[in-house]
Amino acid sequence: MAHIDIPSFSLDKVTIRVSDHDGVPCVVFSGMMDVRDPSQEVLPYLLSIHQRIISGGIKRIRVDFSDLSFMNSSGIRSVISWVVKLNDLPAESRYRITIVHNPEITWQQSSLKVMQQLLPDHIELEKH
């Protein structure tokens, strides 16, 4: 079973943790993400997950936003800054991301779909 050993992360109103979903690592966002500059703390945490995925040879993960009621554009920016790192990896190190979204939460209907369009080779969407 693929496993990422990293403590959960909380800042202001957002919590990020890594759980397991049927043997697939799942990065779970919950709360509200509206910090001013996520590049200071949120992005380094996401990139540390990214490094663990690569070093663990993991080929597929889930990123679950379904319990995140709001994300500001700076938060979107930090998630994109993580995911575009996939473009820098050799093909054998790349992994696919299934983004889990909640159709009842308005921002997720649009922003996450655009994120998937930005990186269609790396991201697929799944309804919660």
Partner 1 sequence: MMDTNIGNVAGRKAFVRLQFGPNWNYIATVRIFVMNFLAITLEDKKKADVIAMAVNEMVENAIKYSNQACIEIHLDVFEGDKTITVMVGNHATRESYESFTEILDEISARPPLEAFLERMRVSSSGPDRKSMIGLARIRYESGAKLSHTFEDGYLRVYASFDS
Contact 97, 53 (CB under 8 A): no
Contact 49, 86 (CB under 8 A): no
- End-to-end CA gap in the chain: 23
Q: Which amino acid is at 119?
A: L
Closer Cβ to partner 1, 34 or 41, answer by number: 34
| List of residues contacting partner 1 (CB under 8 A) | 13, 32, 34, 36-37, 39, 70, 72-74, 76-77, 80-81, 84, 106-107, 110-111, 114-115, 117-118
Q: Tell the smallest beta-carbon distance from residue 65 to partner 1 (Å).
A: 15
Closer Cβ to partner 1, 84 or 89, answer by number: 84
Question: Taking the CB of residue 54, how many other CB atoms lie within 10 A of it?
Answer: 15
Closer Cβ to partner 1, 26 or 107, answer by number: 107
